[in-house]
Structure 1
Amino acid sequence: MGHSHDHHGHHHHHHHIDPEAGDRQVAFAVAINLLLTVAQIIGGVVSGSIALIADAVHNFSDAISLVIAFFARKIARRPADARMTFGYGRAEMVAALVNYTTLIVISLYLAWEGIARLIDPPAIQGWTVVIVAGIALVIDLATALLTLRLSKESANIRAAFIHNLSDALGSLAVIVGGTLVILYDWRLVDPIITLMIAGYILYLAATEIGPVIRNLMLASPDGHDAEDLLEHIQEEEGVAAAHHLHLWQMTEHEAALQVHLVVSDPDWPAAMDIRNRVRAMLVAKGISHVTLEIERASEACPNAPLIGH
């Protein structure tokens, strides 16, 4: 059930990265982050450094965003069944939405912290904090690199990737700010860098969350215009009219369309020929799931809207 069309859509997208290999990379990234988190908590407790524990919390949030992404990938690959007739592909979009939302919250919190520190610059911390941030930066970059290739083709992994990137930037801020405070007592550098990073993360998350929300709202896929496709359908020979058109994104890389075709010719073989031509035209335009309902001109839906119901 559903297997025939379930797989043809995937080959040409993932030919350069095998899903299982991708899963291994994400799992490895999770493991690195969790190990670092545990190490930092132990170090923080032993040395009494709040900075270490704070950084551990950051890395833990990265690990969680990667865990969410990992399970979403697994779920998304399940074939369609009676409960989820469209398949599970949307799981990745739901995960991306969750991860971007938490990222927006984190960046707003960072901005708040930055402003608080502008008003009341903190006391000088020692080199320990800077060294910790250096170690964290290395791990964050390693994690980001593990998910870099996957992030280019998956909104889900991109959300987790930006989580890690934001953390790497945070570590960078601590290194630069901390060093300058220790050497020159420039206390405003740290909050200023923090604010800049918070702004940048907020910008990234806000621009990336848009397409995810559109996808969940069943918006028309990018690069396809519903009115334009409707025109092409109506221009096909033998099509008297078309209405009730729905165009949406099935998965991140597959578009779907359904429409009622009104056929001017009452002769059934001719109607089938028209249907096949319209389907071929739409598939050639990159729409993989096409559902057409055929009506005779004499008994078509009266005053039907062209798009939607």
Structure 2
Amino acid sequence: MDNHNHEEVGGNRFFWVTVLNVVITIAEFVGGILSGSLSLISDAFHNLGDSFSIVFSYVASRISKRRQNARNTFGYKRAEIITAFLNAIALGLICVFLMIEAIKRISNPQPIDGNLMLAIAVIGLVANLLSAYLLNAGSKSNLNMRATYLHIMSDALSSIAIIVGGVLIDLYNWTLVDPIVTILVALYIIYEAVPIVRQTARILMQGAPNIDYEAIKHDLLQIDGVFSVHHVHAWSIDENNIIFSAHVNMHDMKISEAEPIYLEITKVLKNKYHVCHVTIQAETTRGEDEDIIYDRGNDIP
């Protein structure tokens, strides 16, 4: 299947998964209000967030494929990072609100229609399983679809928890189960969202990727013609693309003689450390005694 057909199939699947999520969201909002179930409403917010996340992720994915230009010389790959960051923050804030409401309900229980709560939760489970089926094939070859597939499966687990709560309320009238399930689902969503916020914030703040700089220095010093490496900067465009720059001390030589050394440095960084873009500043003696990471009291000299 060529790229155009693959994107078309992926787009169709994302569309139908979005439709199913919207149906689940509406059903759970209406069912939660009619039954008095806060856990259904909390899962409705979760699914609403998923719907926006799927749409924004697909749009951001399309934007990220645009080529770099004079306005964005590194391209548009961070469109997906910004979207993931905003989605995770929004979900976290919603969960905090829902937990506050759940705590209020623990001290002041409300009557709940367990049968209606159970029926809506079953509908949500079926729709989530159908969404997972639609994304399953594409998840084997597309990371974006795989991430969405795993998220949908976590939604199915939330539906199962609400089903258990509905059964307990229906059989034993344990209305406290509803706010407890709400808190558990909210905590689970926050548990999923926090690492996303942490990782995306680090990328947006130009944080250094997790690579071994001393090992890089050791490997570059093995290259004939390199006798010092310092003033290294590394950052990520997204979770897969690392940018690397360094000052490299070399013997005084012609540019044509330095070119093979540049190529060897680039080869080591790309093949061993998965760096996608390398910038080298050649020097003879300047900075040869400096540390690999620049530290002279200011961020960028």
TM-score by length of 2: 0.79
Distance 1:101 1:159, change over 3 A: farther
**Structure 2: stretches of 5+ with no match in the other structure:** 295-299
Contact kept? 2:249, 2:288, Cα under 8 Å? no
Contact kept? 2:247, 2:282, Cα under 8 Å? yes
Q: 2:58 aligns with which of 60, 63, 70?
A: 70
Q: Which residue of 1 aligns with 2:221?
A: 234
Q: Which residue of 2 aligns with 1:99?
A: 87
1:244: how far off? Answer: 2.4
Q: Which residue of 2 aligns with 1:251?
A: 238
Contact kept? 2:114, 2:167, Cα under 8 Å? no
| CA deviation string 1:186-244 (max 9, x = no partner) | 2222222222222222212112322222222223334x223321232233221132222
Q: Secondary structure at the match of 2:237?
A: strand
**Aligned-residue RMSD, C-alpha:** 3.5
Which amino acid is 1:22 matched to? G
Q: 1:204 aligns with which of 192, 214, 234?
A: 192
| CA deviation string 1:244-270 (max 9, x = no partner) | 211222333222211122212434443
Distance 1:157 1:144, change over 3 A: same
**Structure 1: stretches of 5+ with no match in the other structure:** 1-13
Contact kept? 1:241, 1:261, Cα under 8 Å? yes
Distance 1:210 1:147, change over 3 A: farther
| CA deviation string 1:115-169 (max 9, x = no partner) | 222212221315223212211222233335545664996579747964x556544
Q: Percent identity?
A: 33
Q: Which residue of 1 aligns with 2:159?
A: 171
| CA deviation string 1:69-119 (max 9, x = no partner) | 121111111111111110001111111101111121222223223322221
Of 108-117 and 179-188, the range deviating more from structure 2: 108-117
Contact kept? 2:64, 2:78, Cα under 8 Å? yes
Q: Which residue of 1 aligns with 2:277?
A: 289
What count of residue pairs does the alignment treat as equivalent?
Answer: 289
Distance 1:50 1:273 in 2: 71
Distance 1:141 1:105 in 2: 27
Q: Which residue of 2 aligns with 1:129?
A: 117
Distance 1:50 1:191 in 2: 11
Distance 2:174 2:22 in 1: 34
Q: Does 1:306 align with 2:292?
A: yes
TM-score by length of 1: 0.78
1:296: how far off? Answer: 2.9
Contact kept? 2:49, 2:91, Cα under 8 Å? no
Q: Secondary structure at the match of 1:229?
A: helix
Distance 1:203 1:155, change over 3 A: farther
Of 132-141 and 167-176, the range deviating more from structure 2: 167-176
